[in-house]
Amino acid sequence: MKIKICGLTNIDDAFAAIEAGADYLGFVFYPHSPRYVAPADCARILEAIDHLRGEIQTVGVFVDESLCFIREMIDVCGIDLVQLHGSESPRALEALSGRAYKGIRPRTIEQADHLAAEYAPINMQPALLVDTPHDLLYGGTGRTGDWSIARHLAQRYPVLLAGGLKPENVAEAIRQVQPWGVDAASGVESVPGRKDHKKLIEFVQAAREAVVQLA
C-alpha cells in the first residue's frame, strides 16, 4: 500500500510527511488551488529533502498545462512523476514517456471503464488516480466519491484512491476499494495548504493497520 500526501507547500510539512511514513509527496502547480506551490519554492523543498530521494517519490500535479511547462518543472524542480489532473489527452501521457499518470473523476462505472481504456498506461504504477467528481473543482474538495467505482477499477489497475480521505475513513476506504495506494490532501490539513502533523501520523498509521488486517 503506497501513501501519497499531496498539496505540500513548505519544507516543514514535507519532512513531517516523510517522517510519518509517506511514500509519495505531491506538489500542486495549478495556480487556482489553495495548495499551489511556486516552482522556486518547490525546488527549494526538493533540494532540502534530496538526501531522502531514494526513499520517496515526488509528484507534480498539473491541470491543463503545456508539455513544455511540465517538462521545465521536471527539470527545474527534479520531480519524479507527473499527475495530469485536468482534461489532458492520452497523447499527453504518451509524450511524457512513462513518467505520468492521469487523475480521473468518473461518475459511473461505464464512464470509469471508458476513461481507463483511454488513460491507463501499460506497466505504470499507479495507472490511474481516482478522485471525487465535482462540477467546478479539480481536486481537494474534501468529499469522498463512490468507492464502488474505484473498487471496480482497482480490480484491474493499480489505482491511487483520492477524494476526502482522512484518518477517520482511510481504513474503511482501503477495506472497500483495496487500492494500490491512497492519496490525502485536505483530510490531513489544519488550513488549506498547511498540514496538521498529528493528522499525517494518524492517517499513515490507519492506512498501514488496515493493510495488515486485510492480509
Q: What is the DSSP letter of 184?
A: E
By the 8 A CB rule, do 61 and 25 touch?
A: no
Q: What is the DSSP letter of 139?
A: S
Q: Is 77 a catalytic residue?
A: no
201-204 contacts, C-beta under 8 A, 24 or more apart: 201/20, 202/167, 203/3, 203/5, 203/20, 203/165, 203/166, 203/167, 203/170, 204/3, 204/20, 204/21, 204/22
13, 77, 131, 183: the catalytic one is 131
Q: Taking the alpha carbons of 8, 14, 20, 22 in that order, is the dihedral positive or negative?
A: positive
6, 13, 42, 183: the catalytic one is 6
Amino acid at 52: L
Cβ burial of 38 (10 Å; 0-12, 13-18, 19+) is exposed
What is the C-alpha to C-alpha distance for residues 78 and 148, in angstroms, rounded to an integer? Answer: 36
Q: Is 50 a catalytic residue?
A: no
Instruction: Return the active site residues.
Output: 6, 131
